[in-house]
Amino acid sequence: MKPWFVVLLILYSVCICVRSTKEKGPATFAKSGRTNPYAMIAEGQSLLREGDLVVRLNRDPLSGLIKNFNRTDKNYSHAGLVFYENGYPYIFHIINFDKNETGGIRKDSLSSFCDPKKNLAFGIFRYSITSAEIKKLKNIIYGWRDKGMQFDSVFNLKSDDKMYCSEMISKALAQATNKRIAIQSTKPTRVEAALFSAYSHLPFDYVSKIQVISIDNLYANSYCQLIKKYNLCKN
């Protein structure tokens, strides 16, 4: 990554943080009653239910860019859905290819998905959704995984052959609930588009016109309720 981009991203994130604090006050986290981040994850796992939404904030610079697409809550940059297999909860999410991992839909335990060595925070949210809708939701995600669904690196909401994490969740929810749950999209500002264009190497003219499903679009709505938030960096 180019040094100038990292510096620009840091400055932009600081400006966003200051502005957000002035407008909405400091971000709040539900108190877990525990100080060890691994104990927080263990507690969080005990709260998980089928169909829950789990969000996290990664430590890498790209997460600082993605979380700033959020308009209501800039605490998270990635998301997945909880489904049980043999009585154990896994987080199903979609990732891009990198030098260490293959891309596509994968499942991780909560301890892996929210690993404190790689993440700063995580949260658990729950949709107002029936058991029948949860079953459909699970079948949809499993079906996409079995077909080899890959990550959408151009963030095109109009196509369904590839998806990014929040796009996958929003489209799965719409199908499972017969569009009863409709997640809104967000248009990046020109500054956000310029930063994302520089990082992704996508043309600015393209990025400036797209709509994205931001992470907080998934839960900052009337269909979803907070179960608990955890800050892995504070005692």
Q: What is the pLDDT of residues 99-152, one digit of tens each?
A: 456 679 999 999 999 999 999 999 999 999 999 999 999 999 999 999 999 999
**Residue 28 clears pLDDT 80, i.e. is over it:** no
Per-residue pLDDT of 173-182, as tens digits, reads 999 999 999 9
**Other CB atoms within 10 A of residue 116 CB:** 18
Amino acid in the structure at residue 9: L
**Other CB atoms within 10 A of residue 136 CB:** 18
Cα separation, 116 vs 118, whole angstroms: 5
pLDDT tier at 189 (50, 70, 90 boundaries)? very high
Cα separation, 188 vs 24, whole angstroms: 20
CATH number at residue 130: 3.90.1720.10
Looking at residue 8, its pLDDT comes to: 45
Cα separation, 133 vs 114, whole angstroms: 26
Looking at residue 19, its pLDDT comes to: 44
Higher pLDDT, 121 or 199: 121
Q: How many domains does the chain have?
A: 1
Amino acid in the structure at residue 148: G
190-196 mean pLDDT: 94
Cα separation, 205 vs 101, whole angstroms: 30
Closest alpha carbon to 162 in 214, 97, 218, 220: 97
User: Are residues 232 and 114 in contact, defined by beta-carbon separation less than 8 angstroms?
Assistant: yes
The domain in which residue 50 lies consists of 3-231
Per-residue pLDDT of 31-58, as tens digits, reads 444 579 999 999 999 999 999 999 999 9
